[in-house]
Amino acid sequence: MASILPIIIAPDPRLKEPCVSVERVTPEIVAFMDDMLETMYDAPGIGLAAPQVGRLLRIIVVDVSKDPDNPQPYQMVNPEVVWTSEETFEYEEGCLSLPEHYAEVTRPAKVRVRYRDRAGVEQEVEAQGLLAVCLQHEIDHLEGTLFVDHISKLKRNVILRKLQKTKKHLRIQDMAEA
């Protein structure tokens, strides 16, 4: 049975590190990807990258269907963007590691992504719309890049300072309850 993993909240140095490639898709990697998918659905979210749960591995999961009756999950090992369109697309992004903060980010409108699936087989997907946005957002996580790194320094610092304050308050609350 899959487990729900704790999600790391920014600011945290583990969210700023580049991740390492996965050599082989072992049963342990498959079990970890199942835990990631369960964690993403539970949050709820439409994507999750391994560093968000403390593993600095090049693994992401995505499901933009938002429909529990018809899920369309992707579990990707070593995903890489191999083509982007000239055309761009603006979308108000969120992140499970930056809860309750959103900002407009402009990215290529279409991308082609190469990855290995849970059987270790190389695959490619061409995406547009929300799937393209989400894939780029999750692959960014693997380089230690957050959506706030695509907005102005002023807006980024406002969001990160607010999150730091929230984390501090939560720690004080935890200590008081212990």
**Which one among 5, 109, 134, 139 touches ligand K1U, defined by CB under 6 A?**
134
148, amino acid identity: V
Cβ-based nearer residue to ligand K1U, 23 or 67 = 67
Q: How far is CA 178 from the centre of its chain?
A: 31
Q: How far is the CB of 137 from Zn ion (least distance, A)?
A: 6
Nearest to 147 by CA among 163, 130, 134: 134
16, amino acid identity: K
Cβ-based nearer residue to Zn ion, 95 or 105 = 95
94 binds, among ligand K1U, Zn ion, none (CB under 5 to 8 A by kind): ligand K1U
Nearest to 141 by CA among 25, 48, 4: 48
66 binds, among Zn ion, ligand K1U, none (CB under 5 to 8 A by kind): ligand K1U
User: Residue 113 in contact with residue 76, Cβ under 8 Å?
Assistant: yes
- At CB < 8 A and 24+ separation, what contacts does 28-33 make? 29/57, 29/59, 29/77, 30/118, 31/2, 32/57, 32/59, 33/59, 33/61, 33/75, 33/77, 33/118
Residue 138 falls in the annotated catalytic set: yes
95 is a site residue for ligand K1U (CB under 6 A): yes
Q: How far is the CB of 3 from ligand K1U (least distance, A)?
A: 18
| Piece in contact with ligand K1U (CB under 6 A), picked from 24-32, 92-100, 152-160, 166-174 | 92-100
132 is a site residue for ligand K1U (CB under 6 A): no
Name the helix (H) or strand (E) containing 104: strand 103-108
Catalytic, out of 38, 90, 126, 138: 138
Q: How far is CA 48 from the centre of its chain?
A: 4
**Which one among 5, 9, 29, 46 touches ligand K1U, defined by CB under 6 A?**
46
Chain residues binding Zn ion by CB under 5 A are 95
148 is a site residue for ligand K1U (CB under 6 A): no
Positions marked active-site: 138
